[in-house]
């Protein structure tokens, strides 16, 4: 379920003037702004109401675009910055290490259901690159070794708040 307040969701929708032609941008922004990392039923209903569309139409759009998700994808959804500053410095290292250490590609869930990772736009930690974000927690200045340590800690339940 989204952690955004109704006002925060409405701000995102109004940023695009509740324009149905902007529905993809609206849905992407709502999904990535939420720590949950997916669009829950309430969010989809809100978008449908504000854009004067049916919920069925909004669900069709969510289903069509693989970047959009309508259910939790894994216990830990690891978000990797894919904006230019990170992409042209250490971002590729993070993606490569996650693929190597988790054995899955971006947007795929590990067989144990614990992990999925994907890129998102800048989340304001550019000066601490390489970075990842899980829910609202940022892990910074990562190396291949510390990524491995973090994954082990998550498997061991060392971050109960995540």
- Please state the closest distance from residue 28 (CB atom) to ligand FES, in A: 17
131 interacts with ligand FES by CB under 6 A: yes
81 interacts with ligand FES by CB under 6 A: yes
**In the window 7-46, what residues touch ligand FES (CB under 6 A)?**
none
132 interacts with ligand FES by CB under 6 A: no
- Please state the closest distance from residue 82 (CB atom) to ligand FES, in A: 8
Contact 102, 115 (CB under 8 A): yes
126 interacts with ligand FES by CB under 6 A: yes
Considering only CA atoms, which of 112, 2, 100, 105 is closest in space to residue 47?
A: 2
Considering only CA atoms, which of 76, 88, 77 is closest in space to residue 129?
A: 88
Distance CA 48, CA 57 (A): 8
Beta-bridged to residue 120, according to DSSP, are 81
Q: Which stretch binds ligand FES (CB under 6 A): 10-18, 43-51, 67-75, 126-134?
A: 126-134
Q: Is 26 helix (H, G, I), strand (E, B) or coil?
A: helix
Considering only CA atoms, which of 159, 72, 140, 67 is closest in space to residue 106?
A: 67
85 interacts with ligand FES by CB under 6 A: yes
Q: Which stretch binds ligand FES (CB under 6 A): 40-48, 70-78, 98-106, 118-126?
A: 118-126
């Amino acid at each position: 379920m989204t952690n955004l307040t109704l006002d925060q969701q409405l701000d995102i929708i109004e940023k695009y003037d509740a324009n149905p032609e902007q529905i993809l941008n609206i849905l992407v922004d709502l999904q990535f702004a939420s720590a949950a990392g997916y669009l829950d039923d309430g969010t989809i209903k809100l978008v449908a109401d504000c854009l004067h569309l049916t919920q069925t139409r909004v669900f069709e759009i969510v289903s069509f675009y693989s970047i959009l998700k309508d259910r939790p994808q894994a216990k830990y959804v690891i978000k990797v910055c894919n904006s230019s500053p990170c992409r042209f410095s250490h971002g590729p290292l993070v993606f490569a290490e996650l693929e190597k250490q988790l054995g899955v590609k971006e947007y795929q869930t590990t067989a144990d259901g614990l992990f999925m990772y994907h890129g998102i736009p800048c989340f304001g930690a550019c000066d601490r690159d390489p970075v990842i974000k899980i829910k609202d927690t940022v892990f910074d200045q990562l190396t291949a070794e510390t990524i491995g340590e973090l994954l082990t800690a998550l498997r061991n339940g060392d971050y109960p708040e995540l």
